[in-house]
């Protein structure tokens, strides 16, 4: 792994360190602001909404401007936005606006980083290489859940956000080091080219990614609240339950770090669509079941949650790798943009829909069932490619 890829992995990890403060502290935010579950869902979803809007500009830009340069600017903006969240968020809408800004900055750090890693890897090891980079996303997200849970009793949610946001600013100078000597891409245009979706294989991978994203962000966004509700029902007070639930969610989601490595490794040895399908189907079944398992002993629930966290992440790197291979090289940025736009558009809607189900009194089984439904539809979208549909675009040669 090259020095710049290692540096970019550190940049991604630092950028995401404060990312899960709002979901982990959501019971406290709702209590402080008198917000409904649907309104709380908007705080979670605004992060994805900002991402959705930004990818349409930032990812096509990487067809013309070195991706490393985009990462430098966006990593600095992301750290500053997290600090502003700690200082200025005072209700649902101010929090949502600041979350949208951090999501927009993430769009210029994560997927451009995937492109750099894919570009510098051989086809035979590209899935594992991208999986290693994507695993940092899951590791940092889990660490954010854990750190928030640990800091809440000591500093409150503002103090936790402020401290973690300050640490995340260290990523900007590392990104600057990684950008030294970056080569310019071959594309002549920095504009979005939606026509890349005319390729059937590209459409299949994008559809699979949409289902994966839907399931992941419903589960990730509401898992801490689900666990906190279980602990409160068992006699814990809100603050203690929220802190413990954040750490438990971190343990479950940390398995995604292993999951993406495993999925990337498998996809280097089997067709990528078939590898993704073999993960997405059992994961969707577990989603349908998970919200109904709150009566299980806590240790058993944690064990199942760790398996769930592994499966939720395992196909992520497969979609991220495939989207760099299927389109012509000069359209990789547009293909990534369309994948990220549609995938994260789903993630912006899904947590709000899950919150609405709770407000209707339908319970946690329906919330995680909503996650499973998205994953199942995404898996069905992969079937033409998994069955050996003829590739319409050449595999990108790096």
Q: How do residues 19-51 score in pLDDT, each as one tens digit?
A: 888 888 888 888 888 888 778 778 877 887 888
pLDDT at 62 over 90: no
For the chain, what is the mean pLDDT?
84
Q: What does the pLDDT read at residue 396?
A: 39
Q: What is the C-alpha to C-alpha distance for residues 126 and 113, in angstroms, rounded to an integer?
A: 13
Q: What does the pLDDT read at residue 398?
A: 36
Report all structural domains of the chain as residue ranges with CATH numbers, in order of start: 3-386 (1.20.1250.20)
Percent of the chain with pLDDT over 70: 93
Which has the minimum average pLDDT: 11-20, 72-81, 179-188, 386-395?
386-395
pLDDT at 185 over 80: no
pLDDT at 66 over 50: yes
**CA angle 366-367-369, nearest 5°?**
60
Mean pLDDT for 71-99 is 90
Q: What does the pLDDT read at residue 394?
A: 39
pLDDT at 4 over 90: no
Both tokens assigned to 195 = 């026509």
Q: What is the C-alpha to C-alpha distance for residues 330 and 338, in angstroms, rounded to an integer?
A: 14
Alpha helices in the chain (DSSP H): 3-16, 21-24, 26-33, 37-61, 67-88, 92-107, 110-119, 126-168, 171-178, 200-233, 238-267, 272-290, 298-314, 316-325, 332-359, 364-381, 383-386
Q: How do residues 104-146 score in pLDDT, each as one tens digit?
A: 999 889 888 888 887 777 777 778 888 888 888 888 887 888 8
Q: How do residues 200-235 score in pLDDT, each as one tens digit?
A: 888 889 999 999 999 998 887 788 889 999 999 888
Q: What does the pLDDT read at residue 328?
A: 77
Q: How do residues 318-374 score in pLDDT, each as one tens digit?
A: 888 888 888 877 778 788 888 888 887 887 788 788 888 988 888 899 999 999 999
């Amino acid at each position: 792994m090259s020095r710049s890829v290692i540096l970019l992995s550190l940049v991604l990890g630092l950028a995401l360190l404060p990312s899960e403060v709002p979901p982990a502290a959501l019971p406290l935010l709702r209590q402080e602001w008198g917000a409904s579950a649907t309104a709380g869902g908007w705080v979670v979803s605004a992060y994805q909404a900002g991402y959705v809007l930004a990818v349409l500009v930032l990812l096509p830009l990487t067809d013309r401007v070195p991706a490393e340069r985009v990462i430098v600017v966006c990593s600095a903006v992301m750290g500053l936005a997290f600090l502003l969240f700690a200082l200025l968020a005072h209700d649902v809408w101010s929090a949502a606006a600041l979350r949208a800004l951090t999501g927009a900055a993430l769009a210029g750090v994560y997927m451009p980083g995937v492109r750099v890693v894919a570009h510098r890897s051989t086809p035979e090891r590209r899935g594992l290489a991208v999986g290693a980079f994507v695993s940092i996303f899951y590791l940092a997200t889990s660490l954010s859940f854990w750190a928030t849970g640990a800091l809440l009793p000591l500093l409150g949610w503002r103090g936790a956000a402020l401290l973690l946001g300050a640490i995340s600013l260290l990523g900007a100078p590392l990104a600057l080091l990684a950008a030294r000597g970056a080569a310019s891409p071959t594309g002549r245009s920095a504009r979005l080219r939606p026509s890349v979706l005319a390729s059937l294989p590209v459409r299949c991978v994008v559809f699979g990614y949409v289902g994966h994203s839907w399931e992941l962000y419903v589960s990730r966004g509401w898992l801490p609240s689900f666990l906190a509700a279980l602990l409160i029902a068992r006699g814990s007070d809100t603050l203690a339950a929220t802190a413990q639930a954040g750490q438990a969610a971190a343990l479950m989601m940390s398995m995604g770090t292993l999951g993406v490595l495993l999925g990337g490794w498998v996809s280097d040895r089997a067709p990528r669509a078939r590898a993704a399908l073999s993960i997405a189907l059992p994961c969707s079944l577990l989603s349908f079941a998970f919200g109904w398992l709150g009566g299980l002993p806590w240790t058993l629930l944690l064990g199942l949650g760790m398996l769930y966290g592994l499966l939720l992440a395992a196909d992520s790197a497969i979609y991220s790798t495939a989207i760099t291979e299927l389109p012509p090289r000069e359209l990789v940025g547009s293909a990534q943009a369309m994948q990220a736009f549609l995938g994260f558009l789903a993630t912006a809607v899904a947590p709000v829909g899950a919150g609405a189900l709770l407000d209707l009194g339908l319970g946690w089984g329906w919330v995680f069932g909503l996650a499973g439904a998205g994953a199942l539809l995404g898996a069905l979208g992969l079937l033409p490619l998994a069955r050996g549909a003829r590739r319409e675009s050449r595999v990108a040669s790096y």
